[in-house]
């Protein structure tokens, strides 16, 4: 018994000190397992350091960038797959691109960070590193800068040549969507209900526009203007920031922190907030009351270590979603443009 404890202890200590999350723990079923850690070790050994440097430097100037980069990765992976389709300004078909969708539209941010990384990486090793991998590396930096250990990032993704606004509108969850439907969207990515609840801990940082939640304050339903699941004090605070009389134009320019307590840190405060009726989006708050997710919220609110380990694994797993590899797709030279 003593010996097993010793070995388990040694493994735990090793994991704590190195912050290593083994990608083999986070294999999705299906495709995406062709990605490898250290994919660019010989073809572009400096790429991960370049990403680290650029994200750290730009985030120092604008501390709201890490949440934007994490969301960008999620929005890339959920529409078709992690293939940088979210970054394209146009496609050969000429159809409106993902950036023009309602779900991305005016709220997607951080694109200039990806541009700067790509410029530097092209100088270092031309036509070698995909934009899809850059998004995955940048999301890792965002997570690390926000307080979590640095996870390993399996790479080898290629970039797509297609991007359609209609796909983004179909595949991106929205705050008013029934939980049933959101669960199905995650399942389509081979992400379980637990993965979903764990990933939503990303809403422990960043911002949302008034337009995303004012229905909960003023027109929840015909008889009840305010969502009864909303903590009364928190509801009043939100109403102060996004008054009913606010113009639509102003509401689409005003933001509120997703986690009012620790808005720039990735932590379990999100789950603690949910238990107090302080979930900003309807899709957040419902997690604490629905029988399929309530127990998971309780478990995450109780243990930072449990949540952070599961979160890093789930991010790696999400990053394997429907990737293009080997002879599929291409490697763009500018993340906004497909190869002509």
Ligand X SMILES: *[C@@H]1O[C@H](CO)[C@@H](O)[C@H](O)[C@H]1NC(C)=O
| Structure token digits, residue 265 | 């840190």
Q: Does 31 sit near ligand X (CB under 6 A)?
A: yes
Among residues 7, 26, 323, 325, the alpha carbon closest in space to that of 151 is found at 26
With binding defined as CB under 6 A, does residue 199 bind ligand HEM? yes
Q: How far is the CB of 105 from ligand X (least distance, A)?
A: 24
Q: What is the dihedral angle through the alpha carbons of 33, 171, 288, 313, rounded to the nearest 10 degrees?
A: 20
In whole angstroms, give the CA distance from residue 238 to residue 244.
10
Residue among 4, 75, 203, 209 flagged as catalytic: 75
173 binds ligand X (CB under 6 A): no
One of 35, 51, 70, 88 touching ligand HEM (CB under 6 A): 70
Q: Are 259 and 204 in contact (CB under 8 A)?
A: yes
Q: Which does 321 bind (CB under 5 to 8 A by kind): ligand X, ligand HEM, none?
A: ligand X
Determine if 30 is a binding residue for ligand X (CB under 6 A): yes
Contact 281, 229 (CB under 8 A): no
Q: Helix (H, G, I), strand (E, B), or coil: what is residue 126?
A: coil
- Find the shortest distance in angstroms from Cβ 320 to ligand HEM: 14
**75 noted as active-site residue:** yes
How many angstroms separate the CA atoms of 150 and 36, rounded?
Answer: 16
The two three-digit tokens of residue 308, written as one number = 């952070």
- H or E element in which residue 257 lies: strand 255-257
Q: How far is the CB of 169 from ligand HEM (least distance, A)?
A: 13
Phi first, then psi: give them for residue 7, nearest 5 degrees: -65, -45
Q: Which one among 59, 144, 207, 273 touches ligand X, defined by CB under 6 A?
A: 144
Which member of 21, 26, 32, 58 binds ligand X (CB under 6 A)?
32
Q: How far apart are alpha carbons 250 and 55 in whole angstroms?
A: 30
Site string for ligand HEM, 155-194 (x = CB under 6 A): ------------------xxx------x------------
What DSSP character marks residue 155?
B
Q: Per CB under 6 A, does 308 bind ligand X? A: no
Active site residues: 75
Task: Enumerate binding residues for ligand HEM (CB under 6 A).
Answer: 64, 67-68, 70-71, 74, 107, 109, 173-175, 182, 199-200, 202-203, 205-209, 212, 258, 281, 283
Task: Enumerate binding residues for ligand X (CB under 6 A).
Answer: 19, 28-32, 144, 147-150, 189-190, 321-322
């Amino acid at each position: 018994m003593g010996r097993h404890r010793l070995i388990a202890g040694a493994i735990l200590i090793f994991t704590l000190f190195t912050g290593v999350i083994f990608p083999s723990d986070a294999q999705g079923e299906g495709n995406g397992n062709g990605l490898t850690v250290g994919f660019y070790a010989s073809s572009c050994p400096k790429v991960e350091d370049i990403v680290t440097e650029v994200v750290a430097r730009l985030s120092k100037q604008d501390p709201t960038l890490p949440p934007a980069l994490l969301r960008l990765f999620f929005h890339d992976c959920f529409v078709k797959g992690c293939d940088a389709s979210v970054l394209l300004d146009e496609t050969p078909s000429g159809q409106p691109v993902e950036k023009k969708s309602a779900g991305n539209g005016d709220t997607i941010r951080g694109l200039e960070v990806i541009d700067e990384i790509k410029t530097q990486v092209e100088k270092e090793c031309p036509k070698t590193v995909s934009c899809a991998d850059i998004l995955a590396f940048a999301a890792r930096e965002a997570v690390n800068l926000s307080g979590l250990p640095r996870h390993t990032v399996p790479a080898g993704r290629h970039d797509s040549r297609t991007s359609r606004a209609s796909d983004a509108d179909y595949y991106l969850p929205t705050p008013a969507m029934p939980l049933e439907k959101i669960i199905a969207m995650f399942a389509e990515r081979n992400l379980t209900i637990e993965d979903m609840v764990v990933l939503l801990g990303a809403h422990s940082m960043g911002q949302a526009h008034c337009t995303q939640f004012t229905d909960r304050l003023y027109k929840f339903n015909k008889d009840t203007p305010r969502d009864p699941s909303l903590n009364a004090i928190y509801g009043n605070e939100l109403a102060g920031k996004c008054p009913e009389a606010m113009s639509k134009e102003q509401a689409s320019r005003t933001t509120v922190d997703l986690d009012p307590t620790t808005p720039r840190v990735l932590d379990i405060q999100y789950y603690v907030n949910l238990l107090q009726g302080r979930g900003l989006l309807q899709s957040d708050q419902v997690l604490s009351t629905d029988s399929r997710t309530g127990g998971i919220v309780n478990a995450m609110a109780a243990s930072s270590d449990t949540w952070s380990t599961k979160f890093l694994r789930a991010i790696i797993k999400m990053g394997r979603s429907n990737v293009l590899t080997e002879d599929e797709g291409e490697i763009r030279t500018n993340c906004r443009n497909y190869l002509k």
